[in-house]
Amino acid sequence: MKSIQVLLADPHPLIRAGLRLLLTQMRGVTVQAEVGTGTELLEQLTARRPDVLITEMNVPGAAAIEVARRIARHLPGVRVLLLSTQIDSAQVQSALKAGVLGFVSKAGDPAELEIALRAVTNGNPYLSPHFARFAIDRRRSRQDVHSVRLPTRQREVLQMLGRGKTTKEIASLLGLSVKTVETHRARLMQALDLNNINALLHYAVRHEVEDGTAV
C-alpha cells in the first residue's frame, strides 16, 4: 500500500512537533517535510507534490485560502486539509470555493486528524462538527433564495457524489459514460454556483437532495 505523503505547515514549531508526532504514529503516513513560512510552503509544494497539505489558516506569507487556489490551478492532485482554532462562516465558505477539502479544529480530539486525513486522501470532504455548523447555518439562512430545481439525472449524480462514489462508479451504476457523468458534474457546478469539484463534493455531502430540489 502506497504511503500517504504529507506536507505540514504551521508557523509554531511546538505545534508542528506535536502534529508530526501524531502523524508518524499513523499507519501508512509519511511526513515529507514541515514548514513555518509561506516561502517554504510554496517551495516544498512544488518540489515534493505531496498527497495532502495539512496547514494552519494563516502561515506567514501564504494564507491557506490563496494557497488552495494555487493548488487547484497548478497542483490539482494535492488535497488541502485546514487546521484552525478560530474560523468564521465566511472563511469556511471562501475556503470551500478555493478548493480546501477538509477542516479540523485544533480544539478537537487528536483521533479526528487521522479520520480527516484518510477522508481527504480518498477525495472525500471532511468538516469537524465545530465547522460543519457554519455550513448548516448558511444552508438554513439561504435555502429559500438559492433553492434550485435539478433534472432527475443530475440529482442522482449529486446523491452519489454525496455517498462518496467516484466518477467511474457513478457511470457504472447509472449506465452512463464517464464523460457524461463529468458533463453532469459541470452542469451541477454551474446550477449551484460552485467553482470547483471540491466545493461540489462538500455540497453533496452537507446538503440533502429531495424531490428534485437541492437546497
With respect to residue 31, please indicate whether it lies within any of the assigned structural domains.
Answer: yes
Q: What is the CATH number of the domain that holds 177?
A: 1.10.10.10
Residue where one domain finishes, among candidates 107, 136, 165: 136
Evaluate whether residue 141 is within a structural domain.
Answer: no
Domain assignment of residue 142, yes or no: no
Residue 39 near residue 11, CB atoms below 8 Å = no
Q: Annotate 87-99 with b (16+ C-beta within 10 A) or e (fewer).
A: beeebbebbbbbb
Do 155 and 128 share a structural domain?
A: no
* E strands present in 130-183: 148-149
User: What is the DSSP pairing of strand 4-9 with strand 58-59?
Assistant: unpaired
State the residue range of the domain holding 151.
147-214
pLDDT for the residue numbered 125: 84
What pLDDT does residue 9 have?
96
Q: Are 120 and 198 members of one domain?
A: no
In degrees, rounded to 5, the angle at the alpha carbon of residue 82 between the alpha carbons of residues 81 and 87 is 155
**CATH code assigned at 103:** 3.40.50.2300
Local confidence pLDDT in tens for the 215 residues of the chain: 689 999 999 999 999 999 999 999 999 999 999 999 999 999 999 999 999 999 998 899 888 889 999 998 899 889 999 998 776 777 777 888 888 988 888 888 888 899 999 989 988 888 887 666 555 444 444 443 345 678 889 888 988 887 778 888 899 999 999 999 989 988 888 888 777 777 787 778 766 444 344 44
Of 136, 162, 189, the domain-final residue:
136
- Tell me the three cell numbers of residue 169: 462508479
pLDDT of residue 145: 34
Q: What is the pTM of this model?
A: 0.65
Q: Which residue among 90, 115, 136 closes a domain? A: 136
For position 141, what pLDDT does the model report? 42
| Predicted pLDDT of residue 122 | 87
Domain match, 126 and 206 both: no
The structural domain count of the chain equals 2
Question: Domain check: are 30 and 130 in the same one?
Answer: yes
Q: Is 166 found in the same domain as 109?
A: no
105 and 27 within one domain: yes
Residues 97 and 183 in one domain: no
Q: Classify 163 in phi/psi space as left (phi over 0), alpha (psi -120 to 50) or beta.
A: alpha
Q: Are residues 160 and 190 in the same domain?
A: yes
Residues 158 and 132 in one domain: no
